């Protein structure tokens, strides 16, 4: 459909564990210098995001968990607001639906709109290319993502539940600890969310 895409493979990057220091909430910059900053820039520039993870022990891969843990500031800033996201997971047995839900819900908590997800079973590299029905569904999901971006599709129910769920909780937390997260506090104040 003419969309410009870029594939980023987390296993090719230098990603370090979150220290839980909250330096990002205080200063806007992570205390760790690695490839996560490059990924953050790509996420913020993208109109749409496909989050994909293999299913490992019924959850996301370790690399994906490291990335998500390092995006705390972007949860509080709602940095993915207005962006569209789909999630993908492949595994051998089960747990793939749990993974796609986790990926979509995480992006949603950062402000993104959930367009859909897809899962598949695969044992060996390349197996998925033999699954015609799965590839057809994946193609349709990709088209839905591009269409949602181009038409600036609204998701009022998702917006409502975000406001009554996570945003309400984030607001309470920010008001309790404004001195510990001045960047998030000021951002929310500027947006008129406090």
pLDDT tens digits, one per residue of 75-91: 999 999 999 999 999 98
Q: Does residue 182 belong to any structural domain of this protein?
A: no
Q: Does residue 185 belong to any structural domain of this protein?
A: no
Identify the CATH number of the domain in which residue 106 sits: 3.40.50.360
Query: Which pLDDT belongs to residue 49?
Result: 97
Query: Which pLDDT belongs to residue 100?
Result: 96
Q: Does residue 13 belong to any structural domain of this protein?
A: no
Query: Which pLDDT belongs to residue 126?
Result: 75
Distance CA 21, CA 39 (A): 20
Nearest Cα residue to 66 out of 134, 149, 10: 10
Q: Does residue 138 belong to any structural domain of this protein?
A: yes
Q: Does residue 35 belong to any structural domain of this protein?
A: yes
**Tens digit of each residue's pLDDT (9 = 90 or more) over 159-188:** 999 888 888 999 999 999 999 888 889 989
* Residue 12 clears pLDDT 90, i.e. is over it: yes
Q: Kindly report the average pLDDT of the chain as a whole number.
A: 92
* Residue 43 clears pLDDT 80, i.e. is over it: yes
Query: Using 50, 70 and 90 to split pLDDT, how confident is the model at 131?
Result: confident
Q: Which residue has the higher pLDDT, 122 or 31?
A: 31
Alpha-helix runs per DSSP H in the chain? 23-27, 36-45, 62-69, 72-77, 96-109, 132-150, 156-164, 166-176, 182-191
Residue labelled with tokens 């980023």: 8
Q: Does residue 188 belong to any structural domain of this protein?
A: no
* Residue 94 clears pLDDT 90, i.e. is over it: no
Indicate the pTM of the whole model: 0.90
Q: Does residue 181 belong to any structural domain of this protein?
A: no
Q: Does residue 187 belong to any structural domain of this protein?
A: no
What domain range includes position 131? 18-154
Q: How many domains does the chain have?
A: 1
């Amino acid at each position: 459909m003419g969309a410009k895409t870029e594939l980023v493979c987390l296993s090719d990057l230098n990603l370090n564990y979150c220290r839980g220091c909250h330096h990002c909430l205080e200063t806007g910059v992570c205390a760790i210098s690695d490839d996560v900053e490059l990924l953050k820039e790509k996420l913020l520039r993208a109109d749409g995001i496909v989050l994909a993870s293999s299913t490992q022990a019924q959850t996301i891969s370790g690399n994906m968990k490291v990335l998500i843990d390092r995006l705390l500031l972007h949860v509080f800033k709602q940095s993915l607001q207005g962006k569209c996201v789909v999630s993908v997971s492949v595994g051998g047995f089960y747990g793939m639906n749990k993974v796609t839900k986790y990926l979509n819900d995480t992006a949603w908590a950062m402000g993104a709109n959930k367009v859909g997800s897809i899962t598949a079973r695969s044992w060996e590299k390349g197996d998925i290319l033999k699954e015609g029905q799965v590839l057809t569904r994946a193609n349709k999901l990709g088209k839905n993502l591009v269409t949602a971006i181009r038409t600036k599709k609204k998701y009022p129910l998702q917006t409502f539940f975000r406001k009554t769920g996570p945003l309400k909780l984030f607001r309470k937390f920010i008001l309790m600890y404004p001195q510990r997260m001045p960047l998030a506090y000021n951002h929310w104040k500027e947006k008129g969310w406090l």
